[in-house]
Each structure stands twice: as structure tokens, then as C-alpha cells.
């Protein structure tokens, strides 16, 4: 048994209720714990996120260099176009789109400005041929 295990990724934001709702809808997650200043959620896949109230929170400016990327989430989807429509409908916004290497990736910001990347779900089988 490891000495330390991963717990929960915590995003600071001015409005944890709003940000928790964004990720609950995007990940089909459920609230697991709520206090006045923190909301925790867990997705059916076991992803655990928390949103902590910080009235002075300043979102990172990534991909711009000032206040650059501090932490970001990587999410996966089979259909990037459909996932992007869902992200935008929930209040997220695209930051940049790129297709490096073998996995297509797209950058976004959540409604509070936190960066995350949406990657095409890697195939289970190696390419043949």
C-alpha cells in the first residue's frame, strides 16, 4: 500500500457553485461533499474535483506567458466536436486547437478561466497495417 495516494484536484475560484455545476454537467458527476466554501464532485469514472472559494482568485492566462499555466486538467472524449459544443453550451470557451503527435487535443477555459485540455480518447487497439 502506498504511503501517499492521490486525493482530489482543487480549483480555486470566486464562484465554486457555478464552477462545480459546469464540471458536474460536463463529467456527469455528483456532489459528494459541500461546505460554505468548498464543493467536491466525483464522476462515474472516479475523477474527483473540488472547487474552493477564493474571492481574490485570478485565473491563469495560458496560453499567454503572463500568469502562465499553473495546473490544467486533461479530459478525454471520443467525439471532440460534440464535446466542444457541450463545453461551450455550459459556459466554457476554446483557447486554442492543435493536433500534435498521435492524439488530437483542444484547449479550453472553464467559466472561471481555469485551463483544461480535451484529448481524443486513445484507441484500445494498436493501429494495424
Q: What 3-state class would DSSP assign to 25?
A: helix
Per-residue confidence at 75, pLDDT binned at 50, 70, 90?
confident
Contact (Cβ atoms closer than 8 angstroms) between residue 118 and residue 75: yes
Q: What is the mean pLDDT of residues 59-79?
A: 71
Percent of the chain with pLDDT over 70: 74
The predicted pLDDT at position 114 comes to 85
Q: Tell me how far apart the alpha carbons of residues 17 and 23 are, in angstroms, rounded to a whole number.
A: 10
pTM, to two decimals: 0.71
Facing residues of 97 across strands? 106
Domains of the chain listed by start with CATH number? 9-120 (3.10.180.10)
| pLDDT greater than 60 at residue 66 | yes
Amino acid at each position: 500500500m502506498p504511503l501517499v495516494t492521490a486525493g482530489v484536484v482543487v480549483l480555486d475560484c470566486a464562484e465554486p457553485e457555478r464552477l462545480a455545476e459546469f464540471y458536474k454537467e460536463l463529467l456527469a458527476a455528483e456532489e459528494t461533499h459541500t461546505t460554505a466554501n468548498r464543493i467536491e464532485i466525483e464522476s462515474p469514472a472516479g475523477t474527483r474535483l473540488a472547487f474552493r472559494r477564493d474571492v481574490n482568485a485570478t485565473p491563469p492566462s495560458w496560453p499567454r506567458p503572463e500568469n502562465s499555466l499553473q495546473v490544467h486538467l486533461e479530459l478525454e472524449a471520443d467525439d471532440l466536436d460534440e464535446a466542444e459544443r457541450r463545453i461551450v453550451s455550459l459556459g466554457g470557451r476554446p483557447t486554442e486547437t492543435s493536433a500534435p503527435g498521435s492524439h488530437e487535443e483542444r484547449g479550453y477555459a472553464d467559466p472561471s478561466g481555469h485551463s483544461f485540455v480535451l484529448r481524443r480518447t486513445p484507441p484500445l487497439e494498436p493501429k494495424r497495417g
